Structure 1
Amino acid sequence: MRRELAEEAGLGLPDLTPFGTEYASDDAGRTVPIAIYAGRWNGDPRDLHLTEGVMLAWFAPDDLHRLPIADTTSDLVRRHATGLSTARSEGVSKEELRASPRGTVLNVIGVHLYLERPDGTVLLGLRHPSSAFAPSTWHALAGHCEQENPIACLIREAHEEAGLRIERQNVELVHVVHHIDSAGDRPRMGLFFRARTWRGEPELCEPDKCTQWKFWDPTALPDDLVPYTRTAIEGIRNGKLYSETGWPT
């Protein structure tokens, strides 16, 4: 982020903090996560030397309706402005604001496949080293809900990512994790579904996202495992339906 700011506008902002994630589609129709950072600058954009684009300008959040702007970008700006306004009115510090989103915040819904063989081993995938989230880290087969319900999303992602075919009637919800990955991030609701039966063996259908599928003994999970996935697997094994991670105590 700092490199792009320097290259495109000659700006150096030391105090950048993670704020949220926006999702776009690439030319192949795949969903691509875009990390959003918050920073502060009080200069005149007309004085900047731009190497990309033709203009930078200040706009108040209430003026966004006049601009040709993506709804998701507009929502992020408004959410940031609402959080700052709420913090000022309630005397909340910046650190507290970053740690716990305030006001009405739309949570991201993620679906995850808990695929367990008869021998008790569970399926995990090793994320690609260039992944925006958890690179070179093991994780459950997962995806974000688009214009669909969570079970439809699970069935779609299982087929797109690993070539697995799952029927709706063979799916059951076994755990929910309400988590924040890093301070200031958008909160997420992770739904973990168990597939009682399925067709096919895991394949690397999207090698740019996952480089390996492997069934693991749940009592000997890899050290480099996404933390909330570990929490969910432990919860499932203990018959626990709900967990929270990353929230201030």
Structure 2
Amino acid sequence: MTEYVFDTEHDRYPVAAHVILTDRAGRVLLMRRAGTGYADGLLALPAGHVDLGETPSACAAREAEEELGVVVDRHALTPAGVMFRRSLEPRVDFFFSVGTWEGEPEIREPHKCADLVWVDPDDLPEDALDFVGRAITNARTGRHFDEYGWDNSDG
């Protein structure tokens, strides 16, 4: 069993993994958040917090299955950028792109998701979370690191 040591003298930031699922037509799947208390009603990428002892890629694959019922081979995930993002609390987001999976996406957590929407990544709906478009653009243009939401970093 692995033991972890936690340093209490320094700030720690939540780590999340996001999945940019792209279909054969080039559309990206977004989920309408519901019942979580954060950004409810807005569209977001499938995502979740990385659990203790879990890698970001394993988290992305796990979240795709838990939230959408699709099986993603974590080795098929393409790293699509890291974002140090200012939100209600600063966080570190890992983004992964994938174009192949097993199964048909469906809402598996209706208490957290009200709708699934396939969107054109060049024409995102206005009700998408503000950083989603930036993350997709970063993935498409090869920008591997971004600092988003800080006074001197946007643009």
Q: TM-score, normalised by structure 1?
A: 0.55
Higher relative contact order (CA 8 A, sep 6+): 2
Aligned to 2:125: 222
State the alpha-carbon separation in 1 of the partners of residues 26 and 128 from structure 2. 18
Verify: 1:124 aligned to 2:30, yes or no. Answer: yes
Verify: 1:210 aligned to 2:116, yes or no. Answer: no
CA deviation after TM superposition for structure 1 residue 161, in Å: 0.6
Identity within the alignment, %:
34
Q: Retained in 2: the 8 A contact 1:231–1:243?
A: no
SS at 1:247 equivalent? coil
SS at 1:221 equivalent? coil
Pick one of 68, 73, 78 that aligns with 1:167: 73
Q: Counterpart amino acid of 1:139?
A: A
SS at 1:131 equivalent? coil
State the alpha-carbon separation in 1 of the partners of residues 14 and 73 from structure 2. 24
4+ residue stretches of structure 1 with deviation over 6 A? none
State the alpha-carbon separation in 1 of the partners of residues 80 and 72 from structure 2. 16
State the alpha-carbon separation in 1 of the partners of residues 57 and 118 from structure 2. 22
In structure 2, the gaps of 5 or more residues are 1-6
Q: TM-score, normalised by structure 2?
A: 0.87
Q: Retained in 1: the 8 A contact 2:72–2:101?
A: yes
State how many pairs are aligned: 145
Q: Counterpart amino acid of 1:169?
A: H
CA deviation after TM superposition for structure 1 residue 239, in Å: 2.3
Pick one of 41, 58, 64 that aligns with 1:158: 64
CA deviation after TM superposition for structure 1 residue 138, in Å: 0.1
State the alpha-carbon separation in 1 of the partners of residues 81 and 115 from structure 2. 24
| 1:3-18 matches, cutoff 5 A | none
Give the RMSD, CA atoms, in angstroms: 1.6
Q: Counterpart amino acid of 1:125?
A: M
Report which of the two has the higher share of helix: 1
CA deviation after TM superposition for structure 1 residue 131, in Å: 2.3
| 1:84-233 matches, cutoff 5 A | 104-128=10-34, 130-147=35-52, 148-182=54-88, 185=89, 187-233=90-136
Determine which structure has more spread, i.e. the larger CA radius of gyration. Answer: 1
CA deviation after TM superposition for structure 1 residue 113, in Å: 0.4
Q: Retained in 1: the 8 A contact 2:33–2:44?
A: yes
Q: Counterpart amino acid of 1:181?
A: S
State the alpha-carbon separation in 2 of the partners of residues 117 and 198 from structure 1. 10
Q: Retained in 2: the 8 A contact 1:165–1:200?
A: yes
State the alpha-carbon separation in 1 of the partners of residues 93 and 67 from structure 2. 18
